[in-house]
Amino acid sequence: MFYHLLYIVYCLFLTAVFIYITKKYLNVKIKIIEFVLLLFSLIVIHFVLFIIYRNLIYNLFVLPIIIILLLISIIDNKEFIIPDTLNLLIFIILLILSILSINNITPKIFFNTFDIIVSIVFLLLISLIIYLINKKVEVMGFGDIKLLFSIFLIGIFKLLLVIFISCFIACIIEGLFFSLKRKIIPFGPYLSIGIIIVLVFSKIFNLIFTFF
């Protein structure tokens, strides 16, 4: 119980950092109700992670990634850019998690080295294809590609799952709320949702993938 109280304080700290950054550097003011909802969401995610993994160290690293992804969502939706610094932070945190998982300290992030190599090759091919297509018409920003590169350590299966979930959610939201009329669609928020879902339910997806 004591550890959970510490993590609630940790969630409060992460929420405060998020609000400080959004207000000072993004000129976005967070209302009190939004603060409460964000804090409540982080606390719920913490307990969901604990129920699934029973590993508090995993929570320690996943929760900051969620905050960074929320920042990316706001910035991309407002400015249509994804800062390289935030992508780098996600990569560093996932790298630490990967090292810890190799030593069986945290749950498994990827299946094996081949899984990671395939994800890198896949992303390089996607980058080349998008580069060639963007010469005629812009279909996807390279900020989105960099965000995908920052999570390549999760392996090809979960990387493809992130892309599928993101595209599925984007189609629903853009279709329902924007009637697919927006000329430029910030894809960062949708990728962020996909990444969060995959990180939170990574263990379940691992069990599913082992059957294939």
**pLDDT classification of 139: cutoffs 50, 70, 90:** low
Q: What is the pLDDT of residue 148?
A: 93
Helices and strands in the chain: count of H runs, count of E runs: 9, 0
- How confident is the model over 82-136, as pLDDT tens digits? 888 889 999 999 999 989 988 888 888 766 778 888 999 999 998 888 877 766 6
Residue 137 predicted with pLDDT over 60: no
Angstrom distance (rounded) from CA 101 to CA 103: 5
CA distance to 25, 28, 78, 189, per residue, from 75 (Å): 10, 10, 5, 9
What local confidence, expressed as pLDDT, does residue 115 receive?
Answer: 82
Q: Would you say 41 and 15 are in contact if contact means Cβ atoms under 8 Å apart?
A: no
Q: In which band, very low, low, confident or very high, does the pLDDT at 212 lie, cut at 50, 70 and 90? A: low
Distance from C-alpha of 36 to C-alpha of 26, rounded to nearest angstrom: 20
d(CA 144, CA 57): 28
Please state the pTM of the whole predicted model.
Answer: 0.89
Angle between helices 202-209 and 32-53 (to 10 degrees): 40
Q: Which two tokens stand for residue 87?
A: 């992508």
pLDDT digits (tens, 9 = 90+) for 35-57: 888 888 888 988 998 888 888 89
